[in-house]
Amino acid sequence: LNYAKTKFVTSAPDINHLPADTGIEIAFAGRSNAGKSSALNTLTNQKNLARTSKTPGRTQLINLFEVAPNCRLVDLPGYGFAQVPEEVKRKWQKSLGEYLHKRESLKGLVILMDIRHPLKDLDQQMIDWAVQSELPVMLLLTKADKLASGAQKKQLNMVKEAILPFQGDITVATFSSLKRTGLEQLRQKLDYWFEQ
Ligand code: GDP
């Protein structure tokens, strides 16, 4: 697929307002500031497709993009932002779980984690939900350029070891929007999921 052709379709305030559950959807999730918007912009070769934001935690929307007819990328709001009220967090987590469990068109989940701080509680919760739903996962260790290559490999291996107990279909890759590393691996995985 040509990801440069990706276009914004619509935003939804929550899971209950998503468009019809048809075609194939691949969702992107991650803690606020993990580098999700940057990764989506890099993938699609567009500067402003997903908004990179320095003020996370505002009212956040689910953004839907179309790569090709019936092939959508879903940008889920970042989680784990400290300044969001507990009540709002709980609500959002509940609907994230529902989305992962119930969305028929959802065929893959990309979880972005800063390579320096991977596998926080909510990341593990997301992986757990995905595995429960038999949804394949790609973990991107973002901002890899912040570490020397030896340290990158060490983190990659540590994460690979740590996810073994989940016993799911989980791929791990290092990624950098700045250096465009891991991009080809991401594209190949998305192509594979979209072509199922
Ligand atoms: P989001 O909240 O997950 O959408 O994260 P953003 O994409 O807005 O990125 C958060 C911050 O990390 C911004 O300051 C980005 O410039 C920075 N960032 C994102 N990707 C990279 C990367 O690959 N390398 C480096 N060095 N910084 C990055």
Q: What are the beta bridge partners of residue 10? A: 64
Parent domain of 99: 3-194
Which atom of ligand 1 has the smallest separation from the CA of 56?
2
Residue 37 has pLDDT above 60, yes or no: yes
Provide residues with CB under 6 Å of ligand 1: 30, 32-38, 52-53, 56, 78, 142-143, 145-146, 176-178
Which atom of ligand 1 has the smallest separation from the CA of 38?
7
Q: Which amino acid is at 160?
A: K
- Name, of 1-5, 15-19, 29-33, the range with top average pLDDT: 1-5
State the complex-level ipTM.
0.99
The answer to whether 170 and 163 are in contact (CB under 8 A) is yes
Q: How far is the CA of 30 from the centre of ligand 1 (A)?
A: 12
Handedness of CA 41, 180, 112, 195 (dihedral sign): positive
Q: How far is the CA of 44 from the centre of ligand 1 (A)?
A: 15
Q: Which residues contact 167 (CB under 8 A, 6 or more apart)?
A: 131
Q: What's the whole-model pTM score?
A: 0.95
What percent of the chain is predicted at pLDDT more than 90?
A: 76
- Largest Cα span, the chain: 45
Nearest to 111 by CA among 64, 103, 102, 121: 121
Residue 13 has pLDDT above 60, yes or no: yes
Residue 84 maps to which CATH number? 3.40.50.300
Which pLDDT tens digit goes with each residue over 134-175?
999 999 999 999 999 999 999 999 999 999 999 999 999 999
Q: Is 167 helix (H, G, I), strand (E, B) or coil?
A: coil
Please state, in angstroms and rounded to a whole number, the distance separating the CA atoms of residues 49 and 172.
25
Give the DSSP H or E segment for 173: strand 170-174
Q: Report how many domains make up the chain.
A: 1
pLDDT score for 189? 98
Residue 128 has pLDDT above 90, yes or no: yes
